[in-house]
Amino acid sequence: MVCETIANARSEPERYRHTMLGLLLDTRDAEGRELPEAEIRDQMMTMLLAGHETTANLLCWIWYALGENPEVEAGFYEEADALEPAGEQAFDAYRSLSYTNRIIQEALRLYPPAWIILRETDQAVTMLGEAFPAGGSFLISPYAIHRNGNVFEEPEAFRPERFREGAGKWPRFAYFPFGGGSRSCIGAQFALLEAALILAVLGRRFRFRRTDAGPVRPEPLVSLRIRGGLVMTPQRRGEAIRRGLANDRRGGYDENRKPSTEEIERI
């Protein structure tokens, strides 16, 4: 599939001009040479694999969390409905989704797709009185660290408002869903952009409801999945309702205003 897409992009460059693949095909090294075919393929495979499963699992956790928290869900739909339905550039739309981004950050805190991170020491080190040799391996779990009650108030609760002032108020590495240092995730900003836009586009049209009320348990595999998956039914949202809420909130979503019971039911 990837090789076929690359071939299509070479034969129709204008169609792919503003895509990642188009940028790779236009890239030249210091001597003016194109990137090798194998490197373009590898870059596309990395984006497809690393940027697909992790984001998909994160979105599943977000839809689950929204269904469990009606006030947060109402705020999400209110902000999505305030977006212009067409004509807005992706980056402009992303910047206007402040509450949606806090929802994503809170989901990354509770359900980080990269639930465990491997690091190796390049030299001997002593920590907390324990000596570790060079080449020692460490397994670091954002899933566990993000639930530290000494840092996060009500650590098990889904509260996007805790990110109103960003993550800088907490100690370094108290919150690190994308890792840290020189080996942090190179696609972090892309993942945040992708997740926010997908949520907004789907949220304008549908609400998602679980088909059962059974317990949801995490399954820590390559990334953090929901064990057994999450079966939900999309329900098309009424156009009149969306227009009415958007007209009521032209100034954008105000997270300090709690939605009324009537609004929650309408959404």
Angle, vertex CA 152, rays to CA 93 and CA 109, nearest 5: 45
* pLDDT tens over the chain, length 267 residues: 889 999 999 999 899 988 889 999 999 988 999 999 999 999 888 877 777 889 999 999 999 999 999 999 999 999 999 987 555 677 788 889 999 999 999 999 999 999 999 999 999 999 999 999 999 999 999 999 999 999 999 999 999 999 999 888 999 899 999 998 888 888 898 899 999 999 999 999 999 999 988 899 999 998 999 999 999 999 999 754 555 444 444 445 555 555 555 554 544
| Rounded-to-integer distance, Cα 249 and Cα 50, Å | 37
Contact 54, 113 (CB under 8 A): yes
| Rounded-to-integer distance, Cα 208 and Cα 229, Å | 14
Length of the chain: 267
Task: Enumerate the active-site residues.
Answer: 54, 178, 185
Q: State the pTM of this model.
A: 0.78
